[in-house]
Copies of this chain bind each other. A is one copy, B any other.
Amino acid sequence: MSIVLSRDSQVRVMENTVTNAEKYFGQFCSLLAAYTRKTARLRDKADQLVRQLTDFANTEHPEMRATMRNFAEDLAKVQDYRQAEVERLETKVVCPLKLYGTHIKQTRAEIKKFKQVQKNEMKQLEKLEKLRQKSPSDRQTISQAETGVQRASVDASRITHQLEEVIDTFQKQKLKDLQKIFSDFVTIEMVFHTKAVEVYSSAFQILDSYDLERDLEDFRTKIHGVYGHYDARPFKDTTPSPAVPWALTGQSTQTTIRSQRRDEEEEESTEHSAEEDPVEDLRG
């Protein structure tokens, strides 16, 4: 009897080992999958920021334009590393944890097989007990039942040793996998953070070496370019003359359009080094 109970305890320990692994590996899997997804979303937001920084750079004067473009490039580089982080987490952390489910199912099947053999041993014992109570004098049938019990015990004993090995292997693999998966997690994170430090150091230099005064000079030149009209034309021109119809006539509108075009041409000439006219950009 006590060997049957001891086997029962053993099955309980084994089942708990597997159930525990199933529970925690399942949680690790879903949490690390969520962690990976959140990382991907962080990358998406930073990618959007990169695009906005690039768009913004195109509306700025050369100095700020170069600074923002280079900064955006560095920020994009960090996102490339983050993308690599996401892919590696998927491959080396989330996938192995997912596959663990299959491994656990196999071990569960082994335990189930053992339980059936154990159940058979119990059945044989019960059968023998009943016989002994109902027909204590039927020596032959009792003897057959005793043989049945012994055979079932041998089966149970054999499969117990098999299961012991299965669980030993399971536990060893579980501990190895835990060490491997979390070491991989740490390595992936470490690589990403190291690269991020590198790239951000360069980004800091870019922002630090930005020449504000040069940019302001460009801006002032542009503003003064507009004032240029003022300096180029004598005050008398602005004194209304009957020869120039100022009111809302067709001719006046045409003059306005021409003058505006010229303004734009002059703006462009002061913005010679710029690839795109920031003001033009915003007009559209």
Chain A interface residues (CB < 8 Å from chain B): 1-6, 9-10, 12-13, 16, 19-20, 23-24, 27-28, 31-32, 34-35, 38-39, 41-42, 45-46, 48-49, 52-53, 55-56, 59, 64, 67-68, 71, 78, 125-126, 128-130, 132-133, 136, 146, 149, 153, 164, 167-168, 171-172, 175-176, 178-179, 182-183, 186-187, 189-190, 193-194, 196-197, 200-201, 203-204, 207-208, 210, 212, 215-216, 219-220, 222-223, 226-230, 233, 237-238, 240, 242, 244-247, 255-256, 259-260, 263, 267, 278-279, 282-283
Contact = CB atoms under 8 A, between A and B. Distances in A.
A283 B16 CA distance: 8
A129 B248 CA distance: 10
B2 A259 contact: yes
A256 B164 contact: no
A59 to B, nearest CB: 5
Contacts of A193: 193-194, 196-197, 200
A203 B227 contact: no
Contact of A35 (B4, B12, B35, B46): B46
A204 B187 contact: yes
A265 B10 CA distance: 14
A72 B19 CA distance: 22
A44 B255 CA distance: 64
Given A193-B197, A193-B200, A197-B193, A129 B247 contact: yes
A9 to B, nearest CB: 4
Contacts of A238: 1-4, 153
B168 A1 contact: no
Given A164-B223, A175-B210, A190-B201, 14 more contacts: A3-B230, A3-B237, A10-B226, A20-B282, A24-B55, A34-B45, A35-B46, A35-B49, A38-B45, A71-B182, A133-B247, A153-B238, A172-B216, A187-B204
